[in-house]
Amino acid sequence: MEKNAAYVDWKFRRIKSVSPSVRCVALAEVTQAGVERVKEYVGPVMEHADVACYTMGELSSFVRGLTR
């Protein structure tokens, strides 16, 4: 989890260095671990994510909120 999150965060950092106004949204859904554990390990690594979602439901809610 942490290795993949670090790679995605690195990509987010590179994107933001070129286009600072871009909002980066991360989905970190792990079927073999509970949501709280994923938040504990992935959350601190995703420094450059503007929004981190840990389930498809959270992501769906976030996206619906953008369209309102």
The pLDDT score that the predictor gives to residue 67 is 82
Beta strands in the chain (DSSP E): 25-27, 51-53
How far is 60 from 1, CA to CA, in rounded Å? 22
Rg (CA), the chain: 12
In order of 16, 22, 23, 36, 50, the CA distances from 33 in angstroms are 30, 30, 27, 8, 23
- Number of structural domains found in the chain: 1
Position 45 scores a pLDDT of: 93
Domain that holds residue 43: 2-66
Q: How confident is the model over 4-52, as pLDDT tens digits?
A: 999 999 999 999 999 999 999 999 988 888 888 889 889 999 999 999 9
